[in-house]
Amino acid sequence: MAEAQASAGEHAVQVSEPGAVSLSGEVGSGLPQGLPGIAAVERDTGIAKDTLRIWERRYGFPLPLRDALGERVYPLEQVQRLRLLKRLLDAGHRPGRVVAASESSLQEMLEQSRGKSADARAAAAHGFELGEFMQLLRRHEVLDLRRHLAQALLRLGLGVFVREVAAPLTAMVGEAWMAGELEVFEEHCYSECLQQVLRQAIQAIPPLALLQRPRVLLSTLPGEPHGLGLLMVEALLALEGCQCLSLGVQTPASELVKAAIAHDSDVLALSFSGLLSTSQVQRQLRELRAELPDAVLLWAGGGSAALQRRSMLPGLQHVTELEQVAQVVADWRHLHQSSVNPATSA
């Protein structure tokens, strides 16, 4: 470790890695209090700690400071930039292009990404301008936001609403948050509004219409707190007449196995938003697949980069688009025709 000793009355500065500067004086004397450490930044941005360290050495960013204990801490403006980088990586950009890019270049790439995703699909949202929902959210008109979402669902029907409004609008909200254009509480308000509207719609489906197989158990694994995508899938599965049981988010793998057996589930559906690293997702899926009964199919969906390639693991199917839900249900029923009719189900 290279060390530089400052003159008397000044703080000693230690450099342990390129870009990592340590202030050995009191935190309050030269370093803002409350800066997040590397574990908190990993949770916030979805970028693994090892990746942050590699970027630090390879690209000179991020540039963490060091607290009084010598631990990395990150200025908030760097955390915001890391959120933006993660969004661009999820959109298909390579680290070598985006990590060292200028702020203007990043914003240009973000606008291009928006044009290819949420904004492009907004025009096809059957007369509903997604920007209007965003304006209600930014004006903190929560009751009006919930009412407009409910009206869109009534006019479009649950399936079209999920695919053409809820999904692209959720992507738009996520992009705005990653770019620092929305506060955390605003993103939470949106999530609560959409969850309430979707749950009410699912509960309104007649129970007798939900007796067909497959029986689908839905959840996310620990470290994956986002449940909106899971709820959208549940809504589409309900429209197909599937028997669904949601355990919410962050259920331990061992409990998922127990639940699948206890409820005689045909499918375990998991959602991955991209918060976990590719290696984490792949490892967890391998381990869970090994523990599940052979008869229980594993569906993995969401925006994680780990799911972009076709699964090579027997009994595991990647479902990366909401438009695939009806087809995978139809495929399952074709292979299990004797289990489709409620009268012949166990």
The last residue of a domain, from among 184, 203, 222:
203
**CATH number of the CATH domain containing 245:** 3.40.50.280
Structural domains of the chain, count: 3
106 belongs to a structural domain: no
**Residues pairing with 288 in the sheet:** none
Average pLDDT of the residues of the chain = 81
pLDDT, tens digit, 9 for 90 and up, residues 231-247: 999 999 999 999 999 99
Bigger pLDDT: 139 vs 113: 139
Which domain, by its residues, includes 279? 207-344
212 and 199 both lie in a single domain: no
236 and 147 both lie in a single domain: no
129 and 38 both lie in a single domain: no
Q: What is the pLDDT of residue 114?
A: 58
Q: What is the pLDDT of residue 11?
A: 33
Q: How far apart are CA 67 and CA 73, in angstroms?
A: 6
158 and 253 both lie in a single domain: no
Of 66-80, 114-128, 131-145, 264-278, least confident by mean pLDDT is 114-128
292 and 215 both lie in a single domain: yes
Q: How confident is the model at residue 25 (pLDDT cuts 50, 70, 90)?
A: very low
Q: Using N-to-C axis directions, what is the helix angle for 228-239 and 184-203, rounded to 10°?
A: 20
Contact between 134 and 148 under an 8 Å Cβ cutoff? The reply is no
66 and 14 both lie in a single domain: yes
The last residue of a domain, from among 62, 77, 101:
101
193 and 212 both lie in a single domain: no
Q: What is the pLDDT of residue 291?
A: 95
198 and 212 both lie in a single domain: no
Residue 74 CB burial class (10 angstroms; 0-12, 13-18, ≥19): buried
DSSP code per residue over 198-257: HHHHHHTS-GGGS-EEEEEEEE--TT----HHHHHHHHHHHHTTEEEEE--S---HHHHH
289 belongs to a structural domain: yes
242 belongs to a structural domain: yes
**CATH number of the CATH domain containing 9:** 1.10.1660.10
pLDDT, tens digit, 9 for 90 and up, residues 78-109: 998 998 888 887 766 777 778 888 888 887 77
340 and 215 both lie in a single domain: yes
76 belongs to a structural domain: yes
Q: How far apart are CA 64 and CA 56, in angstroms?
A: 8
**CATH number of the CATH domain containing 129:** 1.10.1240
108 belongs to a structural domain: no
User: Model-level pTM?
Assistant: 0.65
Q: How far apart are CA 49 and CA 260, in angstroms?
A: 33
15 and 58 both lie in a single domain: yes
Contact between 278 and 243 under an 8 Å Cβ cutoff? The reply is no
327 belongs to a structural domain: yes
The last residue of a domain, from among 54, 76, 101:
101
131 belongs to a structural domain: yes
Q: What is the pLDDT of residue 26?
A: 37
171 and 121 both lie in a single domain: yes
Element spanning 40, H or E: helix 38-45
247 belongs to a structural domain: yes
Measure Cα distances from 319 to 171, 172, 252, 280, 282 in Å.
Answer: 17, 21, 21, 18, 15
198 and 223 both lie in a single domain: no
Contact between 269 and 233 under an 8 Å Cβ cutoff? The reply is yes
